[in-house]
Amino acid sequence: MIEVEPRYGFTFAPATHLTENDEISIEILRLGKEERLRFHKCGPDCNTAVEVSSVGVESVKGSNIVTFHANENGKYYFWLNNTKAKEQKSAVKVKRVKNTLKGAFLEFESGSEIFIIRGKA
């Protein structure tokens, strides 16, 4: 199950913490050419974070499924980054999330769409 941060709607995360070597596979249905999907590990209380990895359209040529790996136990989250926008305006808001038995569909205000494939996480 994927939860969107309720206050601003910019970040989204698995409802549970991940353990080392957990994987999250995401099908990129539509992604703007100036957007990157970023994967972060939270610091204490998730007030800080460290980027683990990110992907853009150049990363999905040939296959539209990308896999993110948890490098250690903890809370992780994603956000969609418009690389041409400045500072706080660079985060793209989640417009809609629909959790299903097979995974979670997310649509963003920019028109980008992804499907998080249900797995270990």
Q: How confident is the model at residue 104 (pLDDT cuts 50, 70, 90)?
A: very high
> In whole angstroms, what is the distance from residue 113 CA to residue 94 CA?
9
- Answer whether residue 119 shows pLDDT above 70: no
Q: How confident is the model at residue 121 (pLDDT cuts 50, 70, 90)?
A: very low
∠ CA 105-103-40 to the nearest 5 degrees?
80
Q: How confident is the model at residue 60 (pLDDT cuts 50, 70, 90)?
A: confident
Strand bridging mode 94-99 / 2-4:
unpaired
> In whole angstroms, what is the distance from residue 27 CA to residue 19 CA?
22
**Residue 84 buriedness (CB in 10 A; 0-12 / 13-18 / 19+):** exposed
Query: Residues of 101-115 as b/e, b for ≥16 C-beta within 10 angstroms?
Result: eebbbbbbebebbbb
